[in-house]
Structure 1
Amino acid sequence: MKPVSFGSACHQEATLQKKNHQCPSFKPAKDQFTLLLGGNAAAGCKLKPMMVHHAENPRALKGIVKSTLPVIWKANKKGWVTASLFEDSFSHYFVPEVKKYCEDKSIPFQVILLVDHAAVIHPLFNITTLFLPPNTTSILQPMDQGVIATFKALYLLDAIKITAYAWNKISETTMKRVWKKLCPQLFGTNVERFEEPAEIVQQNTEAIVTLANILDLDVSATDINYLLEAHKEELTN
């Protein structure tokens, strides 16, 4: 009987850093994370991604129950997939997911796992782990044959769409209000009453909290305000 073949690949994302002399006001972000992606040859089982961050409880996830995230959240100081994290993912997530997939499809639980990093995995019945030779990931690893590239393109596309959406939601009233605050002489004495940006932020904060409550997430207005103010602080590693 044909075994179920899976490919698993680590992909590290790091923020783009520019030299200070190129952009004096630019503060390089030292944040980074690693994604562990995997799926089978039949394309019917996409494993839940594992995201490894350098912080166990980053500011953006304050108050969020990690088990409710759409990824497996892990952390270590360097934000890397270590051997222990890989083995934990293998035992507690990979095996149960694949076993359930095989049961749902009524196929034997016989699996070949292709891994591009020689992590230590305890032998498990019906799962054969094949480690790719050094420097062959780009050639032999299935996830590197277009899956990761497509993922990054979609990720970037969504980030661009969200950026454009948020920018387009900034109204003329908000723009005029901030300019009036800085250069009141441009508007004269007879000016309309502009809606305070703080009012808009408050309205959207309340909307976010309401949505979070509907999704059963523990998010408060304080958490949102804390996140909005975070950009004013010095970035750390």
Structure 2
Amino acid sequence: MLDRGKPAYKIAEEFGVGKTQIQNLRKRKLEVLSDFENNVPGQSKRRRYLTGNEEVNTLTYEWFKDAVNKRINITGPLIQEQALHFAAKQGNSSFKASKGWLESFIKRHDISFGSMSGERGDVKQSTITEWAEKLPTLCADYKPENIFNMDETGLFFRDSGRKTYRLKGDDCAGGKRSKERITVALCSSMTGEKVKPLVIGKSRSPRCFGRMDVKTLPVDYYFNKKAWMNSYIYEEFLKSLNRKMKSQNRNILLFVDNAPSHPQVKLSNIKVQFLPVNTTSVTQPMDQGIIQTVKLKFRKRQLQHMVRGMEQHPAMQGSELLKQITILDAIYWLSNSWSEVETNTIVKCFSKAGFSIDNFACSSIADFDVSEEDCDEDDDVPLAVMQMSLELFGCNFKDLVKIDEEVLTCETQNTNWGAPIENLLSEFMPDKCSFSESLDEGDDSDENENDLSVHIPTYSETCDFVNKLKTFAVNVGNSILMDNIVKFDDELCKVIVNKPKQSQITDFFEKRTL
């Protein structure tokens, strides 16, 4: 309600409070949300004031989490020393890292000191069987609908393969292989409940987004220079999911892998459980066919786009058509592909990883193995799409899923805490980056140079297009297509009715003469 532009006095009247309270809530929105998702008691909350050391505090906390993950023994003086180091690099000579600052830092981040245990750092599961025996105990206090798994995967959204068929003697230089990629995080429960996909690109606001509000996209969109998952984005994902679960009065168990970008996070309604190291190819449900299914559905849409493009522009080469695909196209293709994954597919993939709805007390993950035929891999693939895959990219349709199978989704090397302060801030505090800097990072740096000169249809032209589409749908006898066109027409009518009326110079004089 606070984000919808509703006047403060109307909200105040609706809830029977003062207008000033609503205005203060708007100013302190992030703080209030943080208290809510961390389950801070109302009586213990107090207004937190900005001190001017927020960047030092953030970098120190990120360094602390990285040190804990490396099993480094952390003391209070060591935290103070590192904070002073960051302040010096930033040129902040007024920061003292006093004892009072340390106490506030520890309280703010809910840090507790004690003896270091070896539960996560040193203990290694010797076999998958041991994990299978342990799994029922971990899940004992949770219903199947409250057991989730999240995993990331890389996706080349303008790429489809290296090989291509050619005539003997022809040059096989081909087009420049696109390296545009995004990182996608998918999360679902073992009963098939899907969480909104998370997409990480390279630019804050790619040109193809136009005037679209990122918050209205069918995915949660983030960005950084390498389009990788990092601890900041991971924590934002968890906080968002935690708010959702808290609003539903649910407590869930979330399984994730031990990636460097997955720090330990304390949440009110989510318990995070790490999978055994180097076993995720067997123990991670998303890796048992869910991600593969989504990618095949995505590639199907990509190739259908190519087929349509070649019919529309016969003279264009495949690499040129691929280059026209934008990250906005990829986001909507991905969202629709994720929504099409059947509940049965998700349930079977969880079972294949040892999560059985019927029986948690399984003796072996192999007891719940399912054949690949049981997984939804989109068998309803048009012949034209399969031919396009073979003729243009030199591989079977289902082999397209292997293109980005080994793509990194996060930094595998240790964070370089000695890097320039600007680099550290851009990684852990992306909101501090200027808008122009984010564009220079270039999600769409190699998109068509003609993008900005594309003719934008008028309202009248758009209405004519809709009428032509309706005629086309009727002539081909496709009721599904017609239904979607009518829905589009309804939305278009709303846009036209609500469009701002353009002022004229005569309006100014009319007001002056009243």
For residue 180 of structure 2, the aligned residue among 11, 31, 34 is 31
- Alpha-carbon shift at residue 170 of structure 1 (Å): 5.4
1:187 equivalent in structure 2:
none
Structure 2 residue aligned with 1:160: 303
Which residue of 171, 190, 195 corresponds with 1:47? 195
Q: Secondary structure at the match of 1:155?
A: helix
Counterpart residue type for residue 40 of structure 1:
S
Q: Does 1:6 align with 2:148?
A: yes
Deviation of 1:24 after TM superposition, in Å, equals 3.1
* Alignment partner, residue 255 of structure 2: 114
Shift of 1:126: 3.8
Distance 1:62 1:27 in 2: 26
Aligned 1:94-173 pairs, distance under 5 A: 94-100=241-247, 103=248, 109-118=250-259, 119-169=262-312
Give the number of equivalent residue pairs: 177
8 A Cα contact 1:18 1:26, kept in partner: no
**Contact 2:153-2:185 within 8 A present in 1 as well:** yes
1: CA distance, partners of 2:178 / 2:312: 26
Query: C-alpha displacement at 1:161, in angstroms?
Result: 2.0
Q: State the partner residue of 1:183.
A: none
Q: Secondary structure at the match of 1:159?
A: helix
Name the CA distance, whole Å, in 2 between partners of 1:40 and 1:59: 35
| Aligned mates of 1:11, 1:115 — CA distance in 2 | 13
Report which stretch shifted further, 121-130 or 205-214: 205-214
Mean Cα deviation higher: 161-170 or 65-74? 161-170
Q: CA deviation at 1:113?
A: 0.4
CA distance in 2, matches of 1:160, 1:85: 31
Alpha-carbon offset, residue 18 of structure 1: 4.9
The letter for the 1-side match of 2:179 is K
Q: Deviations over 1:141-170 (max 9, x none)?
A: 111111001001111112222322343445
Residue of structure 2 equivalent to 1:78:
226
Pairwise CA distance, 1:12: 0.8
Tell me the percent identity. Answer: 27
Letter in 2 for 1:7: N
Please state whether the residue corresponding to 2:226 is helix, strand or coil: coil
Separation of aligned partners in 1, 2:291 and 2:272:
21
Query: How far, CA to CA, are the matches of 1:145 and 1:67 in structure 2?
Result: 31
Checking the alignment, whether the CA contact within 8 Å between 1:8 and 1:143 is kept in structure 2 is yes
TM-score (normalised: structure 1): 0.63
Give the letter for the 1:2 counterpart: Y
Determine the C-alpha separation between the residues in 2 that align with 1:73 and 1:25: 32
CA RMSD between the two structures: 3.2
Quickly say closer, same or farther: Cα 1:84–1:151, change in 2 above 3 A: same
Higher helix share: 2
Deviation at 1:48, TM superposition (A): 0.5
For residues 301 and 229 of structure 2, what CA distance do their matches in structure 1 show?
Answer: 25
Contact 2:245 2:251 (8 Å CA) reproduced: no
Secondary structure of 1:47 counterpart: coil
1:60-91 residue CA offsets vs partner (Å, 9 max, x unmatched): 22322101110111000000010111001110
Cα 1:18–1:204 change in 2 (3 A) is farther
- Report the Cα distance in structure 1 between the residues aligned to 2:222 and 2:303, rounded to whole angstroms: 27
Match of 1:227 in 2: none
1:111-136 Cα distance to aligned partner (Å, 9 max, x none): 11001144124212342111112222
CA contact (8 A) 1:52 1:79 kept: yes
Aligned amino acid, residue 141 of structure 1: Q
- Where structure 2 has 5 or more consecutive residues not aligned to the other structure, the ranges are 1-140, 164-170, 315-453, 467-487, 496-514
Which structure would you say has the larger Rg?
2
Q: Distance in 2 between matches of 1:203 and 1:84?
A: 37
Instruction: Check whether the contact 1:9–1:115 (CA below 8 A) recurs between aligned residues.
Output: yes
Match of 1:88 among 218, 225, 236: 236
- Looking at structure 2, the residues matched to 83 and 26 of structure 1 have their Cα atoms a distance apart, in angstroms, of 36
Deviation at 1:25, TM superposition (A): 5.1
Is contact 2:246-2:269 (8 Å) kept?
no
Q: Is the 8 A contact 1:47 1:97 kept in 2?
A: no
CA contact (8 A) 2:142 2:253 kept: no
Using the TM superposition, give the Cα deviation of residue 26 of structure 1 relative to its aligned residue in structure 2, in angstroms.
1.8
C-alpha change, 1:158 and 1:137, in structure 2 (3 Å) is same
TM-score by length of 2: 0.31
